[in-house]
Amino acid sequence: MEDQTLITLRRIAGVSDAFIVDRNSAPSEGGTAEAQAALLSAVVAALAQATDDLALGQLGETIIEAERGSIVTGALPNGRAVVVLADAKANLGMIRMEVRKLRRQS
């Protein structure tokens, strides 16, 4: 089910990548994609820790907007999260919709 949703996410115009990250599993040797996933996993973990430290409860969804694109994340159970990298022209509403769908299914 998650794979199907990731495929759907990747098909959205402007989405450059989408994957599930897991803070509990160390990244294996690899190239850019693995490093990217590891970096985003750490970022999501830091945000989750921040919301916890701030007594805001569990992290839900985030949008990090940058000059040339955005990172949309959605927390999943057991320390996992769905992360979507999108360029500046991507429809963030559609991405969030799919992310939320995945969160509901998990």
Partner 1 sequence: MVAAPPRVPEVAERAAHEVYADECLAARDHIRHGRAGQSAEAARRALAALPRGVDAQRLLGLALLELGEARPALHAFSAALTADPLDVVSHAGIAEAQELLEGAGSAEVVWLRAWEVEPYAVSDGTNGMPGIGQRLQDARRAAGALDVREGPPPLTRAALARIHLRGRLFEHAAIEARAVLAKEPDRMDVRLTLAEALWRSGESLLAAAVAQEIRERLPDCVAANLLVATHWLAEGRDAGELMARVHAVDPAGSIAQNLFDDREVPVLFGTDALPERHGEPSAEPPRDDRALAETRALSIVEPPPRAAMTGELLPEVPAVAPIPADIVHDSAQAEELEQLIAPELALVTEPESARAADPDAVLKQPAEPVAQAPRLELDTEPELVVVPPTAESTPSRDADDRTNGNTAMQAGRYLDAARAYGAWLRAARDGRTSG
Q: Which residues bind partner 1 (CB under 8 A)?
A: 13-14, 23, 26-27, 29-32, 34-36, 38-39, 41-43, 45-47, 49-51, 59-67, 88-94, 96-97, 100-101
> Closer to partner 1 at the Cβ: 6 or 86?
86
Rounded Cα distance, 48 and 54, in Å: 10
Structure tokens at 26: 């160390």
Q: How far is the CB of 52 from partner 1 (least distance, A)?
A: 11
> Closer to partner 1 at the Cβ: 20 or 45?
45
Q: How far is the CB of 80 from partner 1 (least distance, A)?
A: 14
**Is the CB of residue 73 less than 8 Å from the CB of residue 9?**
no
Residue type, 70: S
Q: How far is the CB of 59 from partner 1 (least distance, A)?
A: 7
**Is the CB of residue 83 less than 8 Å from the CB of residue 21?**
yes
How buried is residue 82: exposed, middle or buried, by Cβ count under 10 Å (0-12/13-18/19+)?
A: buried
> Closer to partner 1 at the Cβ: 3 or 29?
29
